[in-house]
Structure formats: structure tokens, C-alpha cells
Amino acid sequence: MDNIKVLCIDNSELAEFEAINRGYRDDIYVKVSDRYYHLNIYDIIRLQQDFESELEYYGVFSSDPNLVIVKEVNIEEIKKLVNHLYKQKYFEQI
């Protein structure tokens, strides 16, 4: 996968620890060839919490653009997902 690169705005251990505990990460960018894509990464528990909270408060749920779900919000899971999405031509569709 030489054509893709996963970039984090904050690549520190603390940022990863906090992202895992929060269940989301919004500082992930993917470089595919010469284009950049911003991904909003969630685990299913955090996504469900946000979904229920917004339904209760607003009556609807509006998801973040380019929202993707991982088992756990750590950089290895994110890279695994990005490679999978690349193979599925996801980045050609957004």
C-alpha cells in the first residue's frame, strides 16, 4: 500500500490513550496519491452513545462526514481499516 499514508495531527501516546478511552478520533487524515481525506473514527459504543444522545436532544441524528467505525480507536486498527477501505475503492467515492 505505497499509495496510502495515515496521518495523525497528534501522534503522541497520550493522544492515542485519550482516543481509545473517548471512543473517537477526529484528527486522522489519509493521503492517497496526492489527495488528502479527513476521517472521523468511532468505536461502536461511542457512536451508539452519540446517536442516542442526539435523538433525545434533537430528535434526529446527524453523523459526521466520512464517519467510519473501528473495533477500538487505536492507530493499528485505524491503519487496518484504511487499508481495507483503500482495497474497496472507498476513497474514490468520497
pLDDT at 81: 96
Cross-strand partners of 68: 41
pLDDT at 3: 83
pTM: predicted TM-score of the whole model, two decimal places: 0.88
> Rounded to whole angstroms, what are the CA distances from 33 to 4, 19, 22, 77?
6, 27, 31, 21
Per-residue pLDDT of the chain (94 residues; tens, 9 = 90+): 568 999 999 999 999 999 999 999 999 999 999 999 999 999 999 999 999 999 999 999 999 999 999 999 999 999 999 999 999 999 999 8
